[in-house]
Each structure stands twice: as structure tokens, then as C-alpha cells.
Amino acid sequence: MLEPREGIPPVVADEDSLAQVIAAFAAGSGPVAVDAERASGYRYGQRAYLVQLRREGAGSALIDPVACPDLSGLGEALSGVEWVLHAATQDLPCLREIGMVPTSLFDTELAGRLAGFPRVGLGAMVEGVLGFVLEKGHSAVDWSTRPLPEPWLRYAALDVELLVDLRDALEKELDRQGKLEWARQEFDAIAAAPPAEPRKDPWRRTSGMHKVRRRRQLAVVRELWQTRDRIAQRRDVSPGKVLSDLAIVEAALSLPADAQALAALNGYGQRMGRRQLEQWQAAVDRAKGLAEAQLPAPGQPVTGPPPPRAWADKDPAAAARLSAARAGVSALAERLNMPQENLITPDTVRRVCWEPPKGVDAESVGAALAGYGARPWQVELVTPVLVSALSA
């Protein structure tokens, strides 16, 4: 499929055009296909730079959320309508920011996982299920570009062109496999989930952190990361374009004495000006000047069980339980033709095996699973497997 059925719709970039789209989509029928394009790797944060929609009776629409930053009117017009998204959890945060929150949804990627499809990218799913090949050449472009080139807009419109058709075909397949109710429970859980809490100590996710051992070095990573984040936010660019993770870790390991020593490290080469070097060296110096009590602790506080590799030493009985549970879950997932992590999250299995309920029976194990967020269909299927593993 090379062209949208009605051609490329004009980009909606003013309130009058938006009002017309809202009226058209409110009057449409059936589910609405929704997609959003971000500028990951180019801009700071994960905001939407284009929103695409398609609904029977309304056709397709492309909306510029930079020119029209408040789409709550559109969100309200589509309240009660099922939204069809592909990999919903990726797009919902940026849609929420502009006032679009679904009350019910159908996730075609998750449906594909539950139905046992080996490849669940949108292009692969559309080709495998509907027999159409979609052009997928512009997924990683800078969607903050204005004006957006016509080939990009064509690609964006095609992303929602067949989404409802894909949804209908997947619903039939899930129903045939007896998994439709499971999928509905998963979709309801996604729609009902609150926004994610801000990550604690996000600087600890710097790539290459495993090399950094000493607390003083950790402080350098933290100071450089936070300085980089402030600059990236102010300039509205991806943090990686300001300073690479590799460069942050290099400085932390070397603890350079001055800007000249810093300039000799990977990531701070010849293209970096004196002022920039001094800015990064100042961050290093701030970390070097901290009192011992102000230095970050090595490692993050563990809230759940220890890493599984440590179980054999810490608690051999728990290690045996985990081994039996993993084998049982793996066999069940294979029988059901779906990924293990969609049957039950590995973290949930670890927690139940590390601290099993006092009475190992179906009721107590089922309650433990539900307490960790497992859906009713997962509780029903996985409880017998875990009861067996915990009793062995």
C-alpha cells in the first residue's frame, strides 16, 4: 500500500480546522485508529509532534500538536469510543500530555503477542494478517521538523490506514484461540493504569554504569548527568546530543584534574570549545568537592528479591522453587503459544518464589499473584503451576 485511500490529508494546524476534525470524528462510527510520532533522539522528552487518526465516516486526520497543543476537546469527543493503537504504552504518555486519554482500547501489538505471532511490529503484522506491505522508511526521522515533508506525511497516514482492519482480524483470531477475554483484560489494565511515577535516580541508568564502582566516581556521573539534563531541557535537544553516556562514564573513571585533562578523554575531543570543557570540568569538580556523607550509595536500594544468580547461596530452597516455577511457566507458555512474559511477568514469579504465602494452596497463591497485579486470566492459568513448584 503506497497511498492512503483518500490521499494524504492536510495537516491540521489551527483551531478552526481542529474544530472541524473534532466534529467529523465525533460523528464517525466504530473504533478510532490512533497513532503519534515523537522525535526521540532529536528532542528533549517524549512529546508528540504529529497525531494521526482514522475512523469510519470521518476518514483520516493528521494533527500538529505543536500548533494545536490542547487536544482535550478531541479526547472528550472520542470518550467511550474504543481506541486502536499499536504498542499503546509507547504512545499513551505523550497523548496524555496533550489531553487525549482513552476510556477503552485495543492494542494490536499486544494482541499479536497473545495470539502467538512471531513478529509483532506494525509492518510485519499488517503483512502477515492482512497481506499488505506498508512502507516503513521514516520511523526514526526528526518529527519536530517543520514543515513535515510529504513522504513523511504519507508514511504517517498509512500507519493508521489499516489499523482498524488489523484490529478486526486479530479479534477474530483471538476469539478462535479462546484468548479474546484474556486480551480484553490486558487492554482494560492498560487503559486504567495511572501515569508512571518519575524514575528515582534516573542518572543510574547511564549506559556503562557497571564500570563505575567508587562512590566519588558515582557522584561525578550524577553531577554530569544532571548538568547535561538541564542543558538538554533548556535547548530542547536529546541529552545524548549534548554529551554522550560514554563521555560521562569516562570522566567518572578518570576524575580529571582540570579542563586540559578532560579534553584528552573520549567524548570531549577537538570539536568541544573551551567554555564547554570548563562547564563539564566544573561539574566534575563539584562532585570531587562533596563531603563523604553527600556521596551516592553504590547500587540502588533493592525493593524486591535479590538477583536470581545469588539465590543458590542466599536461599537454596528458594532457588529450587524458582527453577521449578520457571520450567512450569515456560512449558505452559509454549503450550498456549505466547511469550512467557505475557503469560506472567518474571518479576511476579520471582517475588512469589522468594517469599511464598504461608499456606501453599490455590487460594493463597492466587491472592499473591493478584496482589502483584496479575490479571484474573493469568491468576487462573498460572496458579496451578506455581502451587506445584512451591510444593515440590
What is the per-residue pLDDT across 47-56, written as a single tens digit (0 to 9) for each? Answer: 999 999 999 9
Q: Please tell me whether the overall predicted TM-score, pTM, comes out greater than 0.85 for this model.
A: yes
* DSSP codes, 293-358: GGSPPSSPPP-SPPPGGGHHHH-HHHHHHHHHHHHHHHHHHHHHTS-HHHHS-HHHHHHHHHS--S
Which pLDDT tens digit goes with each residue over 136-152? 677 789 999 999 999 99
CB 71 within 8 A of CB 123: no
CA angle 118, 122, 126 (to 5 degrees): 85
CB 309 within 8 A of CB 249: no
In this structure, the strands spanning 48-56 and 59-63 are antiparallel
Residue 174, phi then psi, degrees to nearest 5: -65, -40
Residues 362-386: what's their mean pLDDT?
98
Question: pLDDT band at residue 301, thresholds of 50, 70 and 90?
Answer: low
CA angle 107, 113, 118 (to 5 degrees): 130
Mean pLDDT of the chain: 96
Residues 281-289: what's their mean pLDDT?
98
Residues 278-295: what's their mean pLDDT?
97
Res 303: pLDDT: 76
Res 302: pLDDT: 66
In this structure, the strands spanning 59-63 and 104-107 are unpaired
Cβ neighbours, 10 Å, residue 5: 12
Find cell 495511572 and name the residue.
194
d(CA 28, CA 11): 19
Residue 268 has pLDDT above 90, yes or no: yes
Longest dimension (CA), the chain: 67
Question: In the chain, what is the straight-line distance between the N-terminal and C-terminal CA atoms, in Å?
Answer: 55
Residues 241-260: what's their mean pLDDT?
97
Which pLDDT tens digit goes with each residue over 14-36? 999 999 999 999 999 999 999 99
d(CA 243, CA 231): 10
Res 2: pLDDT: 83
CA angle 307, 303, 315 (to 5 degrees): 45
CB 160 within 8 A of CB 60: yes
